């Protein structure tokens, strides 16, 4: 079991998964961030 829990393959797969989730969260963060900036910086009339 020790060989598997320390294997480079598992590390690579987990890293890919975490990078995918990080990218996903950044994409979904972009939309509300744009809305919040609009609240903070209202358009000048």
**With binding defined as CB under 8 A, does residue 11 bind another protein?**
yes
Tokens 């969260």 identify what position?
A: 25
**With binding defined as CB under 8 A, does residue 17 bind another protein?**
yes
Number of residues that bind another protein (CB under 8 A): 15
Among 27, 32, 35, 40, interactor with another protein by CB under 8 A:
40
DSSP string, 1-45: -HHHHT-HHHHHHHHHHHHHHHHHHHHHHHHHHHHHHHHHSPPP-
Binding site for another protein (CB under 8 A): 1-7, 10-11, 14, 17-18, 21, 39-40
């Amino acid at each position: 079991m020790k060989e598997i829990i320390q294997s480079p393959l598992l590390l690579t797969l987990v890293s890919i998964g975490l990078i995918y989730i990080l990218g996903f969260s950044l994409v979904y963060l972009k939309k509300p961030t744009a809305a919040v900036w609009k609240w903070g910086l209202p358009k000048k009339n």
